[in-house]
Structure formats: C-alpha cells, structure tokens
Amino acid sequence: MATAYDNFAAHIAELNDILCSISVLKWDARTQMPHGGAETRGHQLATLSRLSQEHFISDKTARLLDAAEAEIASEDPDSYRVRAVRQTRQYFEIIRKLPLDLVGEKAALEPVSEGVWAAAKQNNDFASFAPYLQKQVDLARRQADAIGYAEHPFDALVFEYEPSMTASKLRVLFEGLKVGLLPLLREIVANDKPLEKDLWMREYPLDKQKAFGWEMAQKFGYDVNRGRLDIAPHPFEISFTRQDVRITTRYKLNYFPMALYGTLHETGHALYEQGVDPSLTRSALAIDFLGKYPVGGTSYGVHESQSRLWENQIGRSRAFWNAHIDRFRHYFPEVGAEVDPEFMYRAVNRVRPSLIRVEADEVTYNLHIMLRVELELGLMDGSLKVADLPEVWNAKMEEYLGVTPPDDSRGVLQDIHWSGGGFGSFPGYTVGNVMSAQFLEAARRDVSGLDASLEAGEYAPLLGWLTENIYRHGRAFSGSELLIRTTGNDLTVEPYLRYLRAKFTDLYALPL
C-alpha cells in the first residue's frame, strides 16, 4: 500500500512534469521557434503556468503535505525525504502568501515593461523607462511586504534566488571584496600592456569553434547522450530532469573566446544538473517551485559557482592551455602555429575596466555586481529614487572602475533584469564566484594529485568530488549548508581573493 510520503511524491512528480514541459517550450522558443510562433507560445506558457500553480496551491497539496509531515516526523532531518517535504512546505507557504492580484499585475507588467526597456536602451532614453521601473520597484516592495522579512525588504526578494543570503550578509561580502579588489585592479591597470599580436582579428570558422568547444565540454565530463548544444543570442543551460540537460552558446567569426567560454560556462551548469542523484528525478528536490531557473541545482549562487569554476578556474587556467593546445592547433592550424599555451593563457585573461557587465573579466566583474546590488538595496529601502539612478550609476562606475558611461544605454539601461522585476538576482553571480574558490580549495584539500590531473587535462577526479559533495544532492541542502559541509566555513571572500591575487599577480608581474 502506498504510504503518505509516496502519495505526496507522486503529486509532486506531476508538478515536476508540468514545470519541465514549460521549460521544453521555453527552450524551443529561444532556439528553434519561428518568430510567428511567439504569440501562441505565450498563451501555451501562460496556460501551463496557471495549471502548475493550481496544481501546487491546492487543497490536495495541503492534505498530502500534512500526512507526509506526520509520517516522517521522527526521521533523519538531513534525509532526502525529510528535506523534500520540508522544502515543499516552505515554498507552499510563501506562494500562498502572495496575493493573486499582485501575481497578476506582475505577470501583466513584465512583457510591457521589458518592451519599453528594450526601446529605451535602443534610444538612450531612460526617462521613458523610469515610470515602468517605478512600477516594478513598487510591486517588488509589495511582494517583500507580503512574504515578510526580518530586517530589509531585499531579504524577502533575494530568498527566491539565494535562500541563505540577506542584505546584511551581502554588505559584509561586498565590503570584503571591495577592500581586496580595488587595490588589485589599480595595480593591474598600472601594469597593463597590450599583447604583442591581436589574435582575435583572425577568422575562426564557426564549425571548428563548435567542434573545439564541444570536445572540451565532453572532456570536462558533459554526457552528450543526455545533452545537446544549440545557438542562442543569450546563452543559457536548461534541463528537463537530469536525463536531458541542454546548453547553448553564440559564435563570432573574429572573436574565438566568446563561443568557447560561453560553452564552458554553460557546461558547468550542465554538469551540475546531470550530476543530480537519479533517485531525485521528478522529486521536490529537483524542482524550482517558483518557476525560475535553475531547476535541479539548489540556488543561483551555487549554480553560478559551478559555471564559473569550470569556465574560469579551469577553462582560463594555464593548465587548460598546456593540456589542450594541440587540440586547438588541430582545429585552427594557422593561428595555432603562431601561439604557445602561455600566449593563450594571457590572451584569455586580459583585465580591462569596461562599461558592460557581461563583457567584464574576472577582476572587474564583481564590481559591476556590487554596484547593482547597492542600487537595488537603495531602491528597496527607499533611500534611492528611480529618477536619480542614472547619475548614481555613473558616479559608482567612476568610483569603482574608473570609467564613466557616455550614455545610459551603456550605463543604467544595459541589463534586462530590472525591467522584468528581477530584484535580488544579481548577488548570485558574485556569490557564485566566491563559492567557486571555496569549493575548489576544498577539492584540492580532499583529492590528492588534483592539480596533476588538471595539468594532464583529466577532469574525472574533480568532477567526481563535485558530484559527490554538491551535484548529487540537488536542492536538498542550501548553498550555505553545502559550504559548511564541504569547507567547514560559510561564505567567505578569502579563498576567492587569494585565487585572484595569485593568478593576476603572476599574469601582470605584480609585486607580491
């Protein structure tokens, strides 16, 4: 006879099926669908989203949860069963707190606001976007009030993306980064000299770019029987259970790093999803109840820790180019004859303060995020007015990066996030960077000979450690819990600052 937990799990498995089906339609819309399909696809997605909400926020879910909770009451609090029930309860209560009119207003505003933002960015016209941004700010604050928070309204919003983060923890995090990064950046800028030849003006045939990136993804451990690679203007990874985990990248004929590092970044996300324990398939621990990416991983920050670990700490390492220069020469013989691994290592690690977040290097990237998070905190607690955003944005760019945007298109209007009401999502990028260094230090401590294997281009020992300690758990443990279980510490900037200082002191021949 089915137990109460079995009945609960079967009900959640159906919800998982609906959410994964929504994701398939989203993947199709972003990679294959003809433009003409947009309107009807919108209806299909809206209908399925409504069905998933009705399925979840139902009296049946409440009954099944009550019964399952009673049944597992005395079980190990760290077991997957207990964690699945507990997390379902947590999200069930949060979603039930959101007033229906607020959810409806948000859903209706999003496409309009994103459209206005896209035009405003195109025309460098912040004033036309400001009223829509104000509406998004007002809705986000209403949402924070509905969910509730202890200290700062931002706490309720960041929970959706990084459950173990709060405004006050983020302030500490960024203060630590600022103290470490700003002096390092100043030293690098003072020591910068152009590379002796500009490789990125050559032509890199797209089919060769794809083949090299695909080969490297498989070297890292991406299982192509459960994956595929497509083209998308904004690269992403998406999964419909661990059995089908897809990635995308974009190509530029004259700029080789874009496609390769896009592929390696999304491969990092995919390795996480493919590594979730098979027993969690269709369960509450491989699902995002809020209908947001990521699906099987536990949070934005932990997901980004994996994409960035594989892209930057592995893919942009000297060891990577030492190990794979022959394969690069195989695909690109003319350029390959002119370069050695050391040149490639330098060429893909150039640090330059710039205006655009998505083009930023490892050292400046977090300063872009810090600026955004500071502004979001101000918008949410009312200390910053929407009308003052462009001016404050530009002043902070000058203060942190030493560059001032010539217009709002390359300043406050550059990112889509705020137009969709995505307040609270930016910290995940920096949290991910910081976590990635903590995890890699722990892997080095636990796996003897790890660096020798990386030098040899062998990634199974690293992937094995990450799978065992992070990937297999799906969403069972929060980012904070995973860090404490693997490293003994909660989030701390020291390993990340150590990593950056060592790497760029070497690259830029800075005094130690």
Residues with a catalytic annotation lie at: 266
- Residue 248, SS3? strand
249 versus 307: smaller Cβ distance to Zn ion: 307
Q: How far is CA 85 from CA 38, 232, 285, 419, 475, in A?
A: 37, 36, 9, 34, 12
Query: Cβ atoms within 10 A of the Cβ of 244, count?
Result: 18
What's the min distance (Å) between Cβ of 288 and Zn ion? 15
Q: How far is CA 198 from CA 33, 249, 254, in A?
A: 37, 23, 11
User: Among the candidate windows 104-112, 299-307, 352-360, 399-407, which touches Zn ion by CB under 5 A?
Assistant: 299-307
Phi and psi at residue 360, in whole multiples of 5°?
A: -75, 150
Contacts 24+ apart (CB under 8 A), 351-355: 351/185, 351/188, 351/189, 351/192, 351/504, 351/508, 352/192, 353/185, 353/189, 353/401, 353/402, 353/403, 354/401, 354/403, 355/397, 355/403, 355/405, 355/410, 355/411, 355/414
* Distance between CA atoms of residues 212 and 324, nearest Å: 10
User: Among the candidate windows 17-25, 87-95, 288-296, 301-309, which touches Zn ion by CB under 5 A?
Assistant: 301-309
CB-based contact 215:327 (threshold 8 Å): yes
113 forms part of the interface with Zn ion (CB under 5 A): no
307 forms part of the interface with Zn ion (CB under 5 A): yes
What's the min distance (Å) between Cβ of 372 and Zn ion? 16
88 versus 433: smaller Cβ distance to Zn ion: 433
User: Among the candidate windows 256-264, 306-314, 389-397, 450-458, which touches Zn ion by CB under 5 A?
Assistant: 306-314
Binding residues among 227-256 for Zn ion as defined by CB under 5 A: none
What's the min distance (Å) between Cβ of 112 and Zn ion? 27
248 versus 307: smaller Cβ distance to Zn ion: 307
What's the min distance (Å) between Cβ of 109 and Zn ion? 26
88 versus 263: smaller Cβ distance to Zn ion: 263
What's the min distance (Å) between Cβ of 267 and Zn ion? 11
* Distance between CA atoms of residues 97 and 290, nearest Å: 13
> Which two three-digit tokens encode residue 48?
């399925």
What's the min distance (Å) between Cβ of 432 and Zn ion? 8
Strand partners, 237: 247
User: Among the candidate windows 56-64, 304-312, 388-396, 419-427, which touches Zn ion by CB under 5 A?
Assistant: 304-312
Largest CA distance in the chain: 73
User: Among the candidate windows 138-146, 302-310, 414-422, 472-480, which touches Zn ion by CB under 5 A?
Assistant: 302-310
Q: What is the x/- site pattern for Zn ion, positions 383-412, by CB under 5 A?
A: ------------------------------
Residue type, 67: A
Q: Is the peptide bond before 353 cis (omega within 30 degrees of 0)?
A: no
88 versus 306: smaller Cβ distance to Zn ion: 306
What percent of the chain is helix, strand and coil (3-state, nearest 5)? 70, 5, 30
143 versus 436: smaller Cβ distance to Zn ion: 436
Residue type, 482: L
What's the min distance (Å) between Cβ of 306 and Zn ion? 9
Binding residues among 43-72 for Zn ion as defined by CB under 5 A: none
Q: Cα angle vertex 500, ends 494, 506, to 5°?
A: 130
251 versus 300: smaller Cβ distance to Zn ion: 300
180 versus 432: smaller Cβ distance to Zn ion: 432
- Residue 75, SS3? coil
430 forms part of the interface with Zn ion (CB under 5 A): no
User: Among the candidate windows 61-69, 101-109, 303-311, 319-327, which touches Zn ion by CB under 5 A?
Assistant: 303-311
Site size for Zn ion (CB under 5 A) = 1
11 versus 368: smaller Cβ distance to Zn ion: 368
What is the DSSP track for 278-321? GGGTTSGGG--TTS-S-SSSS-HHHHHHHHHIIIIIITTSHHHH
CB-based contact 269:300 (threshold 8 Å): no
The residue whose Cβ lies closest to Zn ion is: 307
What's the min distance (Å) between Cβ of 268 and Zn ion? 8
What's the min distance (Å) between Cβ of 269 and Zn ion? 6
Burial of 215 from C-beta contacts in 10 A (0-12 / 13-18 / 19+): middle
* Distance between CA atoms of residues 366 and 180, nearest Å: 11
* Distance between CA atoms of residues 77 and 83, nearest Å: 7
User: Among the candidate windows 8-16, 175-183, 219-227, 305-313, which touches Zn ion by CB under 5 A?
Assistant: 305-313
* Distance between CA atoms of residues 435 and 479, nearest Å: 9
Q: Tell me which residues touch Zn ion (CB under 5 A).
A: 307
